[in-house]
Amino acid sequence: MKTAIITGAGSGIGLATAKMLHAEGLAIVGVGRDTAKLAALEQELGGTERLLTISVDVTADDAPQAIVQGALERFGRIDHLVNNAGVGSPKPLHETDDATLDGFIDIMLRAPFRLCRDVVVHMAPGSSIVNVTSTFAMIGGRRGGAYSAAKGGLKSLSEHMACEYGPQGIRTNNVAPGVTMTDMVRHRFEDEGFKRANVETTPYPRLAEPEDVASVIAFLCLPGSEMINGQSIVVDGGWTKTKYLSPRAMTSVWTSAE
């Protein structure tokens, strides 16, 4: 029985991915900090026959060892790794202190790097790693700061791994979500400026839901994606690839930013 490790599995994209891969018959190692959310994951998947939950801070020094050891002891193999855990609400470079910088780098670059390092040695041909990056790893964006730096580093790490471990039959890819309606993001739509900057510039009639991103991650863990390696698949309704402005934005009265 193939096994997938998913970080940040208690909510949002991670939860949706766990449900999809579980439905495909995989065993799931769901990693997260919130024990209540992990308990809810167990309920969502109907028990723990093909599920192991591990409550750990992925930035902890012993986290990779605990995750890998748990997966191997319970299921005897690791076939897929989805590095999804992350944080949001970044600030511009000039407003970012060292503690914030370290926090973003720790959870979204250092932690995935260390977990990849400990997992890849246990993978066999046909295995895959999916790192969840961001549109901010693909293009410049305002307020990116430490978030952009971490996600950009993760994108480059994936490309290195695709080259290094691809000959062993181990694929590594990125999935880069745009603004996705997770609990971490939903509250930001109270800010009319944030809402307009995303809704009015997306050439699709809605923004992404967690399931939209999870379906791409799940695909990259299934046999039909065997020739996809070293790629970044962007899930954003065309936001990064177009200069779209909605009719509302095109006909609005422009005012000074002052």
Range of the domain at 87: 3-184+207-241
Is residue 256, in this structure, part of any structural domain at all?
Answer: no
Q: What CATH number does residue 61 fall under?
A: 3.40.50.720
Distance CA 32, CA 22 (A): 17
Please tell me whether the overall predicted TM-score, pTM, comes out greater than 0.85 for this model: yes
Q: Domain count for the chain, please give it.
A: 1
Q: 41 near 30, Cβ under 8 Å?
A: yes
Instruction: Please check whether residue 246 lies inside any domain of the structure.
Output: no
Task: Establish if 253 belongs to a structural domain.
Answer: no
Which residues make Cβ contacts (< 8 Å) with residue 229, sequence separation at least 6? Answer: 162, 166, 171, 172, 173
Q: Is residue 201 part of a domain?
A: no
DSSP letter assigned to residue 229: -
177, 108 contact by CB (below 8 A): no
Output the pLDDT for position 143: 83
Please indicate, yes or no, if residue 151 is contained in any of the structural domains.
Answer: yes
- What is the per-residue DSSP string for 171-199? EEEEEEE-SB-SHHHHGGGGSHHHHHHHH
Neighbours of 98 (CB within 10 A): 8
The pair of structure tokens assigned to 58 is 């992925």
165 in catalytic set: no
Per-residue pLDDT of the chain (258 residues; tens, 9 = 90+): 999 999 999 999 999 999 999 999 999 999 999 999 999 999 999 888 999 999 999 999 999 999 999 999 999 999 999 999 998 888 999 999 999 999 999 999 999 999 999 999 999 999 999 999 999 999 988 888 999 999 999 999 999 999 999 999 999 999 999 988 787 777 777 778 788 888 889 999 999 999 999 999 999 999 999 999 999 999 999 999 999 989 988 888 777 666
What is the rounded distance in angstroms from the CA atom of residue 5 to the CA atom of residue 3?
7
Judge whether 202 lies within some domain: no
User: Could you tell me which of 54, 79, 83 has the C-alpha nearest to residue 69?
Assistant: 54
Residue 223 inside a domain? The answer is: yes
Residue 195 confidence (pLDDT) = 83
**DSSP-derived 3-state class of residue 83:** strand
Catalytic member of 147, 165, 204, 244: 147
Where do we find the tokens 């962007």?
234
Q: Is residue 29 part of a domain?
A: yes
